[in-house]
Every structure is written in structure tokens, then in C-alpha cells.
Structure 1
Amino acid sequence: MNDRLADAVHEVEEAEHEFRPPVAGRVTDVVVGIAVVALGVAALLGSLALGVGSPRAPGTGTWPFLVSIVLVVLGLGLLVMTGRTRDAERFTGAGGLVLAGLATMIAFVAVISVIGFEIPAALLMFVWLKFLGGESWRFSVVTSLATVAAFYVVFVGLLAVPIPHMF
């Protein structure tokens, strides 16, 4: 019985390797490492601008400061490990979906303070469901509107969270 299990595991592993995307190269490793370090440094500067405070009286930038230090250390670790790992995948056409998702999030953040969260949140969710997730038109519209309505009721109506809103 153990031989059958071992054979089945071996077959699954071979099938995984057969359909695996190509491995990323050194250039990809370096670019990703530099991007993580840059993000960490930007967050570090932002947290310092917020005010870190002291261990006895932490400021609003304390947690962002600690997270940004972790990001910088992890990014440097990625740079040190460049070319030593084989588990990173090369960027493919599916990476465009990730970039589209990032672009829509940036647009959401840019307009939320101007027109409130309702319209940008509904549009963001609709775009993600319909175009990035491949859901039906009906499902995307209904889910987007229902979710924004629920968020409005909970955060604006019940919890009185001070987020920008139109109504």
C-alpha cells in the first residue's frame, strides 16, 4: 500500500513540474528585491513624517515604522538570495491583471477624498469582479452595489466612522 501512495505522490509531483510556469531569472530577482526595498524606504520616510514617538509613548507612525523596517530587511534578503532560489516564477501575461488591479486601487485612493467612497468603491468592486474576475454582469452589479450599501450602513450609519462619503 505504501508503494502505491509513493507512486501517486511521484506522479502528482511530475504533473506539477509539467505545468509549472518558467522560473524567474536573476534580473527579476533583483528588480523585485529593489522594489521591496524602495517600498520599505518610502514607508519608513512616511512613518517618520507621522512621528514615531518613543517606546513609552508611541506615535502614529510607530507601527508603520516597524513594518517598513521589516520590508527593508526582507527586500535586502531577497537581493542576497538572488539567483539561489528556483521557486520564483517569471512574469507572464497574467501579471497584467495584477497591474490593472493596482492601477484601479491607485485611482480609488486618488478620488475617494474628492467624491466619497460610495461611487469609487462600487466601481472598483465592479471592475474587479467583471473584468479581472470574469463574473457575469448581473452578479458584478448586484454584488458591488450590495457590498457598498452594507459598508455604508455598518461604517457610516452604525459605527460613525469618519470616512469621506457623499450621503
Structure 2
Amino acid sequence: MSDPLEAGPLESGPEVADDTRPPHAGPLSQISAALVALAVGVAGAIGSVALGLGRMTQPGPGLWPFAISVVIVVLSAVLVVTGRKLEDTERFSKASLLTAAGLVTLILLAWLLPLIGFEIPSLLLVFVWLRWLGRESWRTSIVVSVLTVAAFYLLFVVLLQVPLPRLI
């Protein structure tokens, strides 16, 4: 009986993956994506300062969002400078619509959260992501959605007593 480890060289990952990847979008797309991320980082930093940074001994609510925003700004600036040489952006395709759908559902979650609490929007978000974005079965999508929201409810509302907007 032969040893499967000695069967010969395996195909390398990148060559196989290149056949299925959409074509490279080009340096303009790379720079544009970096500029969008840079704008998001700057907006986050401005919003964080408005929340209040506090002091090192007594951090304010905006300190961590500010720190993360600064990291986003720095990394985005690096991408703006080096982006022309990179080839990891992909042209928009049908798969890009899934990412857009995910973003739209997150925006809907943020909009609905203060209006009707976190339970229903979170349940719908997890369900939509599993069923339509992840192509899971109806049963799996329903069960995992309910269990996920129940776990978050127990963790944040019951155990940590975080004041989330909620129906229950």
C-alpha cells in the first residue's frame, strides 16, 4: 500500500486560486478604496473626539474608537502610497453585490436598533446573512439566528447588564 504523503507534489494554492478570482481592478481602484477607508477613519476620529477622549487615568467613551480610527487612518495612508503596486483589488462582479447587501443590512440594523430594540433587527440580520449570504438551509438559519440572539441577550443584558435598547 502506498503512502498518500509520498504520492507526489500537490498543486500550489495560489495557482489554483488565481483561476477562480475575478480580474484585477487596477491601481485606480486600489487607491480609491484606500481613500474611502481613509475618509471613514477621519470621520471616526472626529466622532470619537466629539464623544470625549478623557484622560489616560479616566478614559472617555471616545478613546477606543479614536485609537481604532487612528490605526485605520495610518494603514489607509500607507495603502494610498503603496496601492499602485498592489494587485489585490478585484473588479466589481455579482459577488460584490453580496458585500453590498451585507453593508445594507448592517445599516438597517443600526437604524432599527433604537426604534424597536436589538432583538428583532439582530435576529433578522443573522437570518439574512446565514440564509441568503451564506446559503444555509432554512432550518439552520432559523435555529442559529434564534440561538445567537438568545446568547447575546443572556451575555449582554442579563450577565453584563449593558443598557441595550430592547423589547423584552
Pick the TM interval, shorter chain.
0.7 to 0.9
Q: 1:22 to 1:161 in 2, by over 3 A?
A: same
- Distance in structure 1 (CA, Å) of the matches to 2:81 and 2:122: 39
- Show CA shifts across 1:58-108 (max 9, x none): 322222222211111111111111321123333322111011011101101
- Distance in structure 1 (CA, Å) of the matches to 2:35 and 2:61: 27
* 1:94 aligned counterpart, secondary structure: helix
Q: 1:15 to 1:124 in 2, by over 3 A?
A: closer
* 2:107 aligned counterpart, secondary structure: helix
Aligned CA RMSD, in angstroms, stands at: 2.2
Q: How many residues align?
A: 162
Q: 1:78 to 1:128 in 2, by over 3 A?
A: same
- Distance in structure 2 (CA, Å) of the matches to 1:150 and 1:14: 41
Q: 1:142 to 1:56 in 2, by over 3 A?
A: closer
Q: 1:89 matched to which residue of 2? A: 90
- Distance in structure 2 (CA, Å) of the matches to 1:140 and 1:31: 35
- Distance in structure 2 (CA, Å) of the matches to 1:35 and 1:26: 14
- Distance in structure 1 (CA, Å) of the matches to 2:161 and 2:61: 21
Percent identity for Structure 1 against Structure 2: 47
TM-score (norm 2): 0.85
- Distance in structure 1 (CA, Å) of the matches to 2:55 and 2:155: 35
Is the counterpart of residue 158 in structure 1 residue 159 in structure 2?
yes
Letter of the aligned partner of 2:76 in structure 1?
Answer: G
- Distance in structure 2 (CA, Å) of the matches to 1:121 and 1:32: 28
Q: 1:47 matched to which residue of 2? A: 48
Where does the alignment leave 5 or more consecutive residues of structure 2 unmatched? 1-5
**Bigger shift: 100-109 or 53-62?**
53-62
**Bigger shift: 13-22 or 69-78?**
13-22
TM-score (norm 1): 0.85
- Distance in structure 2 (CA, Å) of the matches to 1:154 and 1:17: 42
- Distance in structure 2 (CA, Å) of the matches to 1:8 and 1:145: 45
* 1:23 aligned counterpart, secondary structure: coil
1:6-21 to 2 correspondences below 5 Å: 8=9, 11-12=11-12, 13-21=14-22
